[in-house]
Amino acid sequence: MTTIAIIGAGRGLGAAAARQFGREGFDVALVSRSQERVDALADGLVDEGVTARGFAADVRDTGALTAALEAAAEALGPIEVLQYSPAPHRDFMRPVLEATPADLSGPVEFSLYAPVAAVQHVLPGMRRLGRGTVLFVNGGTAVRPRPDFAGTSVAFAAESAYARMLHAALADENIHVAQLVIPGAITPGHPRKDPAVLAETLKDMHRDRGDFRVFAEELDA
């Protein structure tokens, strides 16, 4: 049995992806800052027939993050799919003319240093399996920067560049790297941005191993 590790797991997209991949036979490692919250989420998934465990880590503490991924692999089995989808903090949304270097360091730690650490940690295991998938989930500022959201615009662009380079560098090793861009908010009941619909999109990205970037819906003109 192999595992999907969902970094930034919550009751919305994280839980929906856990259900979707759990139905496909994956064990599920839920990684978030609060052990209490991921334990509660895991308990609910177990009640639904999904094998799930919660692991606490703040993504800006790369040592804690890699320790959580190590514990997940030991408890559940090798990580075949890594989903990086934590929601950015509100204080990352500063206007560009007000943003100082200190204001940008947090977003870059969150959206670049953390996924680099996570990928570097799981990559040897994927190579041993002979397959793997890394799924990055970002908002629309990843491809269309907004001056009122300087932190995410800068950091998501860096994350996107890193992910695209991985997509090219790992393709010959049967490790697929892809990015799902969700413009605007994840919206229950929306035909394309409901959590369950987005989770199915992520499952299809893992299965079909197509283009690098998928849009949940078109960006506004």
Residue 68 belongs to what H/E stretch?
Answer: helix 62-76
> What strands, in cross-sheet order, belong to the sheet with 27-32?
52-56, 27-32, 3-7, 79-84, 132-139, 175-182, 213-215
Q: pTM of the predicted model, to two decimals? A: 0.96
Residue 91 pLDDT: 79
| DSSP symbols for 152-196 | HHHHHHHHHHHHHHHHHHHGGGTEEEEEEEE-S---TT-TTTSHH
Q: Which residues contact 87 (CB under 8 A, 6 or more apart)?
A: 8, 10
Residue 93 pLDDT: 82
User: By the 8 A CB rule, do 154 and 107 touch?
Assistant: yes
Helix (H, G, I), strand (E, B) or coil at 88: coil
Q: Residue 213 pLDDT > 90, yes or no?
A: yes
Closest CA to 159 of 206, 110, 193: 110
65-112: pLDDT as tens digits: 999 999 999 999 999 999 999 998 887 888 999 999 999 999 999 999
Residue 132 pLDDT: 98
Give the C-alpha separation, 26 to 6, whole Å. Answer: 12
Q: Which residues contact 103 (CB under 8 A, 6 or more apart)?
A: 91, 94, 150, 151
In total, the chain counts a number of residues equal to 221
Read off the tokens for 59. 């993504």
6-51: pLDDT as tens digits: 999 999 999 999 999 999 999 999 999 999 999 999 999 999 999 9
Local structure of residue 33 (DSSP, 8 states)? S
Question: Domains of the chain (ranges plus CATH)?
Answer: 3-215 (3.40.50.720)
147-177: pLDDT as tens digits: 999 999 999 999 999 999 999 999 999 999 9
172-210: pLDDT as tens digits: 999 999 999 999 899 999 999 999 999 999 999 999 999
Write the CA distances from 214 to 11, 120, 204, integer angstroms: 23, 23, 11
Give the C-alpha separation, 63 to 76, whole Å. Answer: 20
Residue 92 pLDDT: 82
Q: Which residues contact 138 (CB under 8 A, 6 or more apart)?
A: 111, 156, 159, 160, 179, 180, 181, 182
Q: How far from the centroid of its chain's Cα atoms is residue 190's Cα? A: 21
Residue 22 belongs to what H/E stretch?
Answer: helix 13-23
Arithmetic mean of pLDDT over the chain: 95
Q: Residue 220 pLDDT > 80, yes or no?
A: no
Give the C-alpha separation, 201 to 217, whole Å. Answer: 11
Helix (H, G, I), strand (E, B) or coil at 125: helix
